[in-house]
Amino acid sequence: MANAGVDRAGGDVSSPEEARQQLDRILSSPEFRLPERARRFLDFVVTETLAGHRDYLKAFTIAQAVFGRDASFDAQQDPCVRIEAGRLRRELEHYYLTAGAADRIIITIPRGGYAPVFEVRQGAEPAEMQQAGQSAPPPPGDDGPQAAAPAGDTVSRDKAIRRLPWSRYWLLAGGAAAVLAAAAMLQHVRSVDTGNETLPGSVGRPTIVVERFESASGGGAASDISQGITDDIIEKLVPFNDIVVAAALPGNRDGEISSQPIYALRGSIRLEGGTLRSTARLVRRADGIVIWANNYDADMEVQGILKTQASLAEEIATAVARPFGVIFQADTASIAGSADAFSCILAYYSYRSEMTAQAQGAAKSCLQQAAEQMPDDSNVVAFLSLTHLDEFRFPYQLNTKPTAATLATARELAERAVHLDPKNARALQALMLANFFGNDPAEALRAGEAAYASNSNDTEVAGEYGLRLAMSGKWDRGCELISEAVGKNAGPQGYYEVGMALCAFMRGDTQAAELWSRMSDLNYNPMHRLVLLSILGTLGKAAEAKEQIDWIEARSPGLIPNVRREVVWRLARIEDQERFFNGLEAAGLPVQNDPPGN
C-alpha cells in the first residue's frame, strides 16, 4: 500500500501508546470488516512488536497463539497464517482508504513477514488532538463492532467500547461446559421491574438485566434463535456468584434505578446464509453509557443451530461476567471506598491487578469488615480466604511471612464459605488452594473439580484448577484448562501465560516456553522470573539468564535461598522438579537445600 505523506517508518512512532490507540481505532471501526480471528491476528502481532518480540513473529508462533495449532504445525502443509495475513493486508488497505484516510499512525504488514510497521503521516495531528468520533457512524442495520446503540443509550468517549484484547494466547482446546438444569437455573433468575427501588437478593452485588436479543432478520427462525440465545446467556450467567442475573419484564423504566449497580445486556442477531452474527453490549442503566460491546460470528452449518446458540451465549456471558472483566472495572472509581460486599470484591480484583502490599492490605481489611457485617455471605468469606492464601502464594511480591496459622485461617474460611454455599465456585476455588498449599493435593483437586463443574465459564476457576492439575503432574488436562482460561482472556493480564510457559517447558518445547514466559507479566511475581530463568538456562542463553538473576537478587533476594522449597511446594513430581532445577543450575543459579527451620 502506498502511503503518501509518510515521513518516517520502521516503528519510529512517538510512543507505543499512540500505536496502541491506533490499533484500537482500527479494530473498533465499522470499515474494518474482518472476523474475530483476523482481529486477533492483528492485535497479536502489533502487541508483541510493541513489547519487543518482533523476532518471534513467525508462522509457527502465530499459528499457535492465534489459530490454536499445536507443536506439530507445518506452515508448508497448513497455509492458514499466510492466507489470513493476505486478507489482513487487504483490509488494512481498505481501512486507510476510507475511515482511516486522515489517521496519523499507519499500520502495515509488509509482504514477506508478519511483523507490522508503524508509520507517521506527515502533517497529521496526534490522536489526542483529533476530534473524538472521526470515523463515520455505521449505516443503519450494520452490526459491526460499534453497532449503533438504540435510543436511550449514551456512549461515553473513553468507555464506549471496551474491546477485549485477543493477544498473547492460543485459541484453544475447547472446554466442556457443564449445563445446569433449567429448573435449577430459574430458581436463581430474578424477573425485574426497575420501578422497585431495590431488587431482591441484589444487596452487595451488581445486577445484570438480560433483555431479549432483537432479531435483525425476518422470519420465524431468526425470532426463535433470538429467544434461544437470550435464554442461553441467562443460563451461562447464573453460576457467576459475583452478580445477580435478572430477566427483564415488559415496561421496565430505566429512570428508576436501585442503589446497587444495574446493567442491561442488550443485543441483536442476524442470519446471513449459514452464518449467525450476534452483537452484544452492556449498558449502565443509571446513565445509559455503553461500557462494553462486541460482535460474534458463527457458522451454523458446522455446529448446528443449538450448539451455535450455546457457543455464542457462552462467549458473551464469559466476556461480561468473568473475573477481572468489564463488570468489575466499570464502576471501580465511583464505588471505591464503600463498605459493602461488592466494593470489597472490587478491591480484591484491583489488588490482584496492582499486586502491592498496600493494595492487598486494603482489600483484606475491607473484606474482614464485610465478613463481620455479613457472616453468611459465602462470596465475602471466600474472597477473605483468598487474601490470606495470597500471603502464601506471593510472599516475595507482597513481602509477607506466611505462617501455619495464616494457612489454617485461610482453610477455615474456605471451608466455611463452601458450607454456606456448596456450589459457589469461588468458595471451592479457595478450598482448592488452601488444600494445595496445605500439602493435600488429592483434596485440592477434588475441590477444583467441583469448582469447575459448578461454573466452567469462570476463567479464574478454570485457570487456577488447570495450574493445580498441571503442577500435580496431570499436564495434559491441566494445560488444556490453562489454555482455555487464557483463550477467554483470563486475568490478571499476563498471569496465566506463565502457566502456558510451564506447559511448553515440561513437554520439551523450550522455544514456545520462552515465548510464553516473556508474554507473562514478569513483574507480577518473582516466581515468573524464576520460570523464565530455568527456560533460559535450558536454552543455554547465559547472558539473558544473568539479567534475570540480577533482577531477582536486587528485587527479591529472599527467594534465592528458598528456591528448592518454593519449587517443591508447587511441582509434585520429582522428574518435573529436576527438570526445573537443571535449568536453574545451567543458568548459573545453584539450587540450595532449604535452610534450617524452613
CATH (domain of 452)? 1.25.40.10
CA–CA–CA angle 11, 115, 517 (5° rounding): 100
**Following DSSP, what letter does each residue of 490-557 receive, concatenated?**
-SSTTSTHHHHHHHHHHTT-HHHHHHHHHHS-TTT-HHHHHHHHHHHHHHT-HHHHHHHHHHHHHH-G
415 and 559 in a common domain? yes
Over pLDDT 70: what percentage of the chain?
A: 78
The residue among 477, 426, 463 whose CA lies nearest residue 447 is 426
Tell me, yes or no, whether 141 lies in a domain.
no
Question: What is the C-alpha to C-alpha distance for residues 582 and 574, in angstroms, rounded to an integer?
Answer: 12
Confidence of residue 198 (pLDDT cuts 50, 70, 90): very low
Tell me, yes or no, whether 489 lies in a domain.
yes
Query: Taking 70 as the threshold, does the pLDDT of residue 259 lie above it?
Result: no
Question: What is the C-alpha to C-alpha distance for residues 199 and 141, in angstroms, rounded to an integer?
Answer: 34
Question: What is the C-alpha to C-alpha distance for residues 138 and 44, in angstroms, rounded to an integer?
Answer: 26
Identify the bridge partners of residue 208 per DSSP, sorted by sequence position: 245, 263
The residue among 65, 20, 163 whose CA lies nearest residue 11 is 20
Hey, what's the cell of 166? Answer: 485477543
Tell me, yes or no, whether 139 lies in a domain.
no
Name 585's Cβ contacts closer than 8 Å, sequence gap at least 6: 537, 591
Please tell me which residue, 123 or 337, carries the higher pLDDT value. 123
Give 237's DSSP letter.
H
What pLDDT is recorded for position 377? 93
CB 8 within 8 A of CB 119: yes
Tell me, yes or no, whether 142 lies in a domain.
no
Query: Taking 90 as the threshold, does the pLDDT of residue 140 lie above it?
Result: no
Tell me, yes or no, whether 153 lies in a domain.
no
Give 154's DSSP letter.
B
Q: Alpha helix (H) ranges present in 36-149? A: 36-50, 59-67, 80-97
What pLDDT is recorded for position 34? 77
What pLDDT is recorded for position 437? 93
Question: What is the mean predicted confidence (pLDDT) over 123-132?
Answer: 52
Query: Taking 50 as the threshold, does the pLDDT of residue 436 lie above it?
Result: yes
Q: Is 443 exposed, middle or buried (0-12, 13-18, 19+ CB in 10 A)?
A: middle
Query: Taking 90 as the threshold, does the pLDDT of residue 342 lie above it?
Result: no
Mean pLDDT is lowest, of 146-160, 202-216, 309-323, 568-582, for: 146-160
What pLDDT is recorded for position 177? 32
What pLDDT is recorded for position 94? 81
353 and 316 in a common domain? no
What pLDDT is recorded for position 2? 38
What pLDDT is recorded for position 52? 86
What pLDDT is recorded for position 255? 40
Name 302's Cβ contacts closer than 8 Å, sequence gap at least 6: none
99 and 245 in a common domain? no
Question: What is the mean predicted confidence (pLDDT) over 147-164?
Answer: 34
What pLDDT is recorded for position 594? 58
Please tell me which residue, 174 or 567, carries the higher pLDDT value. 567
Question: What is the C-alpha to C-alpha distance for residues 325 and 348, in angstroms, rounded to an integer?
Answer: 13
Q: Which domain holds residue 65?
A: 6-129
Over pLDDT 90: what percentage of the chain?
A: 43
Confidence of residue 362 (pLDDT cuts 50, 70, 90): very high
What pLDDT is recorded for position 230? 93
Domain end residue (candidates: 300, 330, 360): 330
Q: Is 200 exposed, middle or buried (0-12, 13-18, 19+ CB in 10 A)?
A: exposed
264 and 239 in a common domain? yes
Residue 450 three-state SS = helix
476 and 443 in a common domain? yes
Q: Omega before 492 cis (within 30°)?
A: yes
415 and 553 in a common domain? yes
268 and 396 in a common domain? no
The segment with the largest mean pLDDT, out of 153-157, 308-312, 374-378, is: 374-378
Taking only the tens place, the pLDDT of each residue in 444-490 is 999 999 999 999 999 999 999 999 999 999 999 999 999 888 888 88
Tell me, yes or no, whether 421 lies in a domain.
yes
Query: Taking 60 as the threshold, does the pLDDT of residue 36 lie above it?
Result: yes
Please tell me which residue, 578 or 40, carries the higher pLDDT value. 578
Tell me, yes or no, whether 188 lies in a domain.
yes
Domain end residue (candidates: 312, 330, 348): 330
209 and 352 in a common domain? no
CA-CA-CA-CA dihedral for 377, 378, 384, 386, to nearest 10: -160
Taking only the tens place, the pLDDT of each residue in 1-16 is 433 333 333 345 557 8
Tell me, yes or no, whether 450 lies in a domain.
yes
Mark 309-321 as b/e (b = at least 16 C-beta within 10 Å).
Answer: bbbbbbbbbbbbb
Q: Which long-range contacts (CB under 8 A, 24 or more apart) does 553-559 make?
A: 555/526, 556/396, 556/397, 556/526, 556/529, 558/395, 558/396, 559/396, 559/526, 559/527, 559/530
427 and 340 in a common domain? yes
Question: What is the C-alpha to C-alpha distance for residues 583 and 540, in angstroms, rounded to an integer?
Answer: 9
Question: What is the C-alpha to C-alpha distance for residues 429 and 434, in angstroms, rounded to an integer?
Answer: 9
User: Could you tell me how many residues make up the chain?
Assistant: 598
What pLDDT is recorded for position 385? 97
303 and 343 in a common domain? no
Taking only the tens place, the pLDDT of each residue in 505-534 is 999 999 889 988 988 889 999 999 999 999
The residue among 210, 321, 212 whose CA lies nearest residue 264 is 210
CA–CA–CA angle 329, 173, 479 (5° rounding): 80
**HEC states along 389-429?**
HHHHHCHHHHCCCCCHHHHHHHHHHHHHHHHHCCCCHHHHH
Residue 229 three-state SS = helix
364 and 301 in a common domain? no
Query: Taking 70 as the threshold, does the pLDDT of residue 185 lie above it?
Result: no
Domain end residue (candidates: 303, 330, 357): 330
Query: Taking 90 as the threshold, does the pLDDT of residue 581 lie above it?
Result: yes
**pTM for this one?**
0.68
Taking only the tens place, the pLDDT of each residue in 37-95 is 788 899 999 998 998 888 888 888 888 888 777 767 777 667 778 878 887 888 888 88
Count the domains in the chain.
3
Query: Taking 70 as the threshold, does the pLDDT of residue 501 lie above it?
Result: yes
104 and 124 in a common domain? yes
Confidence of residue 242 (pLDDT cuts 50, 70, 90): confident
Query: Taking 60 as the threshold, does the pLDDT of residue 167 lie above it?
Result: no
What pLDDT is recorded for position 596? 44
Mean of all residue pLDDT scores within the chain: 80
Query: Taking 60 as the threshold, does the pLDDT of residue 422 lie above it?
Result: yes
Confidence of residue 332 (pLDDT cuts 50, 70, 90): low
The segment with the largest mean pLDDT, out of 35-49, 102-116, 564-578, is: 564-578
Other CB atoms within 10 Å distance of the CB of residue 304 = 10
Question: What is the C-alpha to C-alpha distance for residues 524 and 352, in angstroms, rounded to an integer?
Answer: 9
CATH code, 310: 3.40.50
